Structure 1
Amino acid sequence: MRGGRKVQITITVDAGILEYAERLVAAGKAASVTAVFNDAVTEKHITDQRAGSAARTRPAGRPRPGGRDDAAREPPTD
């Protein structure tokens, strides 16, 4: 994923999240606000891939503890 083709997009984020990203840049912990968001989405992508891989290796009928399957069985709390 790193170093590949870049595509410009426009996103809308919460003001506090943008401020946090800007603070990371100002503190030298990130190269740019773009890098902060790219790193965050990359991390989410990696996490999702690992979760998908674990789901594919789990025996059929054995939901992941605390996963969506558990939540689907719980009654709504309205």
Structure 2
Amino acid sequence: MRLASRMERMGTETAFEAAARARALEATGREVIHLEIGEPDFDTPRNVSEAAARALLDEGATHYTAATGIAPL
């Protein structure tokens, strides 16, 4: 597939560059607190996982919400 030449100007997402640098520092033994991607270092609480499963399986919540959000929330 041919891509438009302007695609070459897009570059890399900065957060991914920061994550790669953090991993490189960790490989040298440095302690790093990761704040670059937003991936928590703890498991999702069980009640949250169960509520998400119910919303997906029982309530059919499988589409994007409106851009304005969910009114009751």
Taking structure 2 as the reference length, what is the TM-score of the superposition? 0.31
Relative contact order: is structure 1 or structure 2 higher (C-alpha 8 Å, sep ≥ 6)?
2
Structure showing greater Rg: 2
